[in-house]
Amino acid sequence: MKFPKHFIFSTASAAYQIEGGWNEDGKGENIWDRIVHSDPNYIQDHSNADVTCDSYHKYKEDIKCIRKIGFKAYRFSLSWARILPTGDITRINKNGIKYYMDLIDELIKNDIQPMVTLYHWDLPQTLQNLGGWLNPIIADYFEDFAYLVFSIYGNKVKWWITINEPSCIASGYGGVDYAPAMHLNGIGEYLAGHTLIKAHAKVYRLYENHFKSAQKGKISFALNGAFGMPVSESEEDVMAAERYNQFEFGWFAHPIYSNTGDYPPVMRDTVDRNSAGEGRRFSRLPSFTNEEIEFIKGTYDFIGINHYTSRLCTTGSEGENPSRSRDTKVKTSVDPNWPPTGVSWNKVVPEGLRKLLNWLKNEYGNLTVFITENGYSDNTTVLHDKGRIEYYKVS
């Protein structure tokens, strides 16, 4: 049993989670800076990422560790506010530009491929003041940011992710678990998601039309979610699991990766009917024009998948009314026999990843796949690998 030669072992991080230096050398404030500083209780233990791993100062030490372990690639994200402190192209921070150039050069010198994520949750606060991802114009700001990034780093970076985990980003506008915690359930997540999809497509087309032929890179999206499996083999539970997966993955995958484009039909039909039943004259789920559907469809070179765990599904209702979770008409649970990890939501379900990959293949064909995030959390200081082995091993 050997991995194929083209298989790439990698590690990954996100700017806000690892860099620190939150206000150093001209970096602007982002939405996570704002929420944890204005409300320390937002994080249970009152921690923040002002310093975190201090990779802003210690990136060379990080790269030595990456090389020592034997990873051949490193996926990291750019802090939009470190490069453009206000999010606007009219104010460029040369120190931020230099930091990422130095990081990329150090990776290449150590024979480690950089995979760069343009956006991983940390919107500049000044753009949030305009409404954030609820405002369609943020897609244009994102395109400007991407143009600058491709122009500067594109000759050295061959793998790009436009947006990481759009459902989590959108959830920050529907609920309160993610910044900016707008609590606009059933409305905010769909509006933000709509803008995120258009922002991705704009940046993909930008790269395709202006950079790809010269820079020879590849670019795509990174989706996330728990895979839904039926509680039983009954038709009702099987249909519930399928609905769950269409709302969980199809929400962002169907407009981009399907042959027809647009939102999954079950999502379109369900939210439209629920909205009408609430007395609304229009749906809570926005609509794409025919031109937008064609513009968005096919904006990928591969698919990035962030997957950690799975859920059991049956027909039912949970979540606020209205909300995406209630729109699915699915009640989720976990099997008590699934082993725990260091965080409560992440159960050990190794078969879930294979089932997810098979589901994606059935829905969208033979895509080139990167598992861009996956892993087992451990709260202990001594790492006993039995838990990790079981996390990946299917009996």
- Give the residue numbers marked as catalytic: 165, 373
| Distance separating alpha carbons of residues 188 and 207, to the nearest angstrom | 29
Identify the H or E element spanning 330.
Answer: strand 330-333
Q: What is the number of alpha carbons within 13 Å of residue 234 lying toward its C-beta?
A: 9
74 by DSSP, 3-state: which?
strand
Q: Which helix (H) or strand (E) holds 359?
A: helix 350-364
Run of H or E including 229? strand 227-230
Instruction: Record the tokens describing residue 370, joined without a space.
Output: 């990167």
> What is the three-class DSSP state of 222?
strand
Whose CA is closest to 149, among 222, 204, 201, 100? Answer: 100
What DSSP assignment string belongs to 154-213?
TTT--EEEEEE-HHHHHHHHHSSSSTT----TTTHHHHHHHHHHHHHHHHHHHHHHHTHH
